[in-house]
Protein backbone atom coordinates (compact mmCIF):
# COMPACT_ATOMS: atom_id res chain seq x y z
CA UNK A 1 0.00 0.00 0.00
CA UNK A 2 2.81 2.45 0.81
CA UNK A 3 4.40 1.73 -2.60
CA UNK A 4 1.09 2.57 -4.25
CA UNK A 5 0.82 5.83 -2.34
CA UNK A 6 4.41 6.73 -3.15
CA UNK A 7 3.81 6.00 -6.84
CA UNK A 8 0.59 8.05 -6.83
CA UNK A 9 2.32 10.97 -5.13
CA UNK A 10 5.19 10.85 -7.63
CA UNK A 11 2.79 10.71 -10.58
CA UNK A 12 0.88 13.68 -9.18
CA UNK A 13 4.05 15.73 -8.73
CA UNK A 14 5.27 14.95 -12.24
CA UNK A 15 1.92 15.87 -13.81
CA UNK A 16 1.72 19.06 -11.73
CA UNK A 17 5.21 20.10 -12.83
CA UNK A 18 4.42 19.49 -16.50
CA UNK A 19 1.14 21.39 -16.16
CA UNK A 20 2.86 24.27 -14.37
CA UNK A 21 5.42 24.55 -17.18
CA UNK A 22 2.70 24.63 -19.79
CA UNK A 23 0.64 27.21 -17.93
CA UNK A 24 3.78 29.18 -17.12
CA UNK A 25 4.74 29.48 -20.78
CA UNK A 26 1.29 30.80 -21.68
CA UNK A 27 1.33 33.36 -18.86
CA UNK A 28 4.93 34.50 -19.26
CA UNK A 29 5.94 33.17 -15.84
CA UNK A 30 8.54 30.84 -17.35
CA UNK A 31 10.10 33.75 -19.21
CA UNK A 32 10.30 35.83 -16.05
CA UNK A 33 11.88 32.96 -14.15
CA UNK A 34 14.14 31.93 -17.04
CA UNK A 35 12.67 28.41 -17.17
CA UNK A 36 13.12 26.48 -20.42
CA UNK A 37 9.88 25.62 -22.17
CA UNK A 38 8.95 22.03 -22.86
CA UNK A 39 9.42 20.90 -26.46
CA UNK A 40 5.65 20.93 -26.98
CA UNK A 41 5.35 24.48 -25.62
CA UNK A 42 8.35 25.66 -27.63
CA UNK A 43 6.94 24.28 -30.88
CA UNK A 44 3.47 25.70 -30.24
CA UNK A 45 4.79 29.11 -29.19
CA UNK A 46 7.15 29.36 -32.18
CA UNK A 47 4.42 28.34 -34.62
CA UNK A 48 1.95 30.80 -33.11
CA UNK A 49 4.56 33.55 -33.09
CA UNK A 50 5.42 32.96 -36.74
CA UNK A 51 1.76 32.97 -37.82
CA UNK A 52 1.11 36.15 -35.85
CA UNK A 53 4.21 37.85 -37.26
CA UNK A 54 3.24 36.96 -40.81
CA UNK A 55 -0.34 38.18 -40.33
CA UNK A 56 0.85 41.43 -38.73
CA UNK A 57 3.43 41.96 -41.46
CA UNK A 58 0.79 41.57 -44.17
CA UNK A 59 -1.14 44.38 -42.51
CA UNK A 60 2.10 46.35 -42.18
CA UNK A 61 2.66 46.02 -45.92
CA UNK A 62 -0.79 47.47 -46.58
CA UNK A 63 -1.02 50.17 -43.93
CA UNK A 64 2.50 50.96 -42.79
CA UNK A 65 4.89 53.71 -43.78
CA UNK A 66 7.83 52.93 -46.10
CA UNK A 67 10.05 51.74 -43.23
CA UNK A 68 7.29 49.48 -41.83
CA UNK A 69 6.57 48.08 -45.29
CA UNK A 70 10.24 47.14 -45.78
CA UNK A 71 10.37 45.63 -42.28
CA UNK A 72 7.15 43.71 -42.99
CA UNK A 73 8.54 42.25 -46.21
CA UNK A 74 11.54 40.90 -44.33
CA UNK A 75 9.35 39.54 -41.50
CA UNK A 76 7.17 37.62 -43.97
CA UNK A 77 10.22 36.09 -45.66
CA UNK A 78 12.06 35.25 -42.43
CA UNK A 79 9.08 33.93 -40.46
CA UNK A 80 7.86 31.86 -43.42
CA UNK A 81 11.34 30.30 -43.50
CA UNK A 82 11.40 29.55 -39.75
CA UNK A 83 7.89 28.07 -39.97
CA UNK A 84 9.03 25.67 -42.68
CA UNK A 85 12.18 24.77 -40.75
CA UNK A 86 10.21 24.14 -37.56
CA UNK A 87 7.72 21.87 -39.33
CA UNK A 88 10.56 19.79 -40.74
CA UNK A 89 12.22 19.40 -37.33
CA UNK A 90 9.38 18.63 -34.94
CA UNK A 91 10.20 15.28 -33.36
CA UNK A 92 7.50 12.73 -34.12
CA UNK A 93 7.86 11.19 -30.68
CA UNK A 94 6.93 14.55 -29.11
CA UNK A 95 3.40 14.21 -30.52
CA UNK A 96 3.11 17.96 -30.88
CA UNK A 97 0.33 19.35 -33.01
CA UNK A 98 1.52 22.49 -34.74
CA UNK A 99 -1.31 25.04 -34.59
CA UNK A 100 -2.84 25.88 -37.96
CA UNK A 101 -4.76 28.99 -36.89
CA UNK A 102 -4.22 31.90 -34.56
CA UNK A 103 -5.35 31.53 -30.97
CA UNK A 104 -7.69 34.13 -29.45
CA UNK A 105 -4.90 36.23 -27.97
CA UNK A 106 -2.98 36.43 -31.24
CA UNK A 107 -6.13 37.06 -33.26
CA UNK A 108 -7.09 39.96 -31.00
CA UNK A 109 -3.66 41.55 -31.62
CA UNK A 110 -4.18 41.22 -35.37
CA UNK A 111 -7.72 42.60 -35.11
CA UNK A 112 -6.38 45.58 -33.16
CA UNK A 113 -3.91 46.30 -35.97
CA UNK A 114 -6.62 45.94 -38.62
CA UNK A 115 -8.90 48.41 -36.87
CA UNK A 116 -6.27 50.91 -35.73
CA UNK A 117 -6.96 54.45 -36.88
CA UNK A 118 -4.46 55.63 -39.50
CA UNK A 119 -2.84 58.03 -37.02
CA UNK A 120 -2.43 55.23 -34.46
CA UNK A 121 -1.28 52.44 -36.77
CA UNK A 122 2.48 53.03 -36.59
CA UNK A 123 2.46 53.25 -32.82
CA UNK A 124 0.42 50.02 -32.51
CA UNK A 125 2.44 48.15 -35.13
CA UNK A 126 5.85 49.25 -33.88
CA UNK A 127 5.16 48.45 -30.22
CA UNK A 128 3.63 45.08 -31.17
CA UNK A 129 6.78 44.21 -33.12
CA UNK A 130 9.09 45.13 -30.24
CA UNK A 131 7.03 43.13 -27.75
CA UNK A 132 6.70 40.09 -30.03
CA UNK A 133 10.41 39.98 -30.78
CA UNK A 134 11.39 40.39 -27.13
CA UNK A 135 9.18 37.40 -26.36
CA UNK A 136 10.65 35.40 -29.26
CA UNK A 137 14.24 36.13 -28.21
CA UNK A 138 13.44 35.03 -24.65
CA UNK A 139 11.73 31.84 -25.84
CA UNK A 140 14.60 30.87 -28.15
CA UNK A 141 17.29 31.73 -25.59
CA UNK A 142 15.62 29.62 -22.91
CA UNK A 143 15.09 26.65 -25.22
CA UNK A 144 18.63 26.89 -26.61
CA UNK A 145 19.98 26.69 -23.04
CA UNK A 146 17.77 23.99 -21.60
CA UNK A 147 15.51 22.47 -24.24
CA UNK A 148 14.79 18.75 -24.39
CA UNK A 149 15.33 18.06 -28.10
CA UNK A 150 18.94 18.40 -29.35
CA UNK A 151 18.00 19.29 -32.95
CA UNK A 152 15.55 21.97 -31.83
CA UNK A 153 18.06 23.32 -29.28
CA UNK A 154 20.66 23.68 -32.01
CA UNK A 155 18.12 25.32 -34.33
CA UNK A 156 17.06 27.72 -31.58
CA UNK A 157 20.70 28.73 -31.08
CA UNK A 158 21.25 29.24 -34.80
CA UNK A 159 18.01 31.23 -35.19
CA UNK A 160 18.68 33.57 -32.25
CA UNK A 161 20.95 36.05 -34.09
CA UNK A 162 18.24 36.68 -36.71
CA UNK A 163 15.61 37.20 -34.00
CA UNK A 164 17.88 39.60 -32.13
CA UNK A 165 18.36 41.49 -35.39
CA UNK A 166 14.57 41.59 -35.87
CA UNK A 167 14.23 43.01 -32.35
CA UNK A 168 16.83 45.67 -33.08
CA UNK A 169 15.06 46.56 -36.33
CA UNK A 170 11.70 46.74 -34.52
CA UNK A 171 13.17 48.98 -31.82
CA UNK A 172 14.44 51.34 -34.53
CA UNK A 173 11.09 51.61 -36.35
CA UNK A 174 9.96 55.22 -36.33
CA UNK A 175 13.25 56.56 -34.94
CA UNK A 176 14.45 57.88 -38.30
CA UNK A 177 12.19 60.92 -38.43
Domain parsing of the chain, residue ranges:
1-35, 36-172
pLDDT digits (tens, 9 = 90+) for 111-152: 999 999 999 999 999 999 999 999 999 999 999 999 999 999
Per the CB < 8 A criterion, the answer to whether 91 and 70 are in contact is: no
pLDDT tens digits, 156-165: 999 999 999 9
pLDDT of residue 94: 64
CATH code, residues 36-172? 1.20.1260.10
Q: What confidence category does residue 23 fall into, taking pLDDT thresholds of 50, 70 and 90?
A: very low
Query: What pTM, to 2 d.p., does this model score?
Result: 0.80
pLDDT value of position 13: 40
Chain centroid to CA 156: 12
Residue 17: pLDDT above 90?
Answer: no
Amino acid sequence: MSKLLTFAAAAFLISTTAFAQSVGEKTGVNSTLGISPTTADFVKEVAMSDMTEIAAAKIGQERGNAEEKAFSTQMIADHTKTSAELKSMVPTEAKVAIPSALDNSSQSKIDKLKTAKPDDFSSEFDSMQVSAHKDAVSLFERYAKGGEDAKLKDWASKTLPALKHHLEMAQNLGKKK
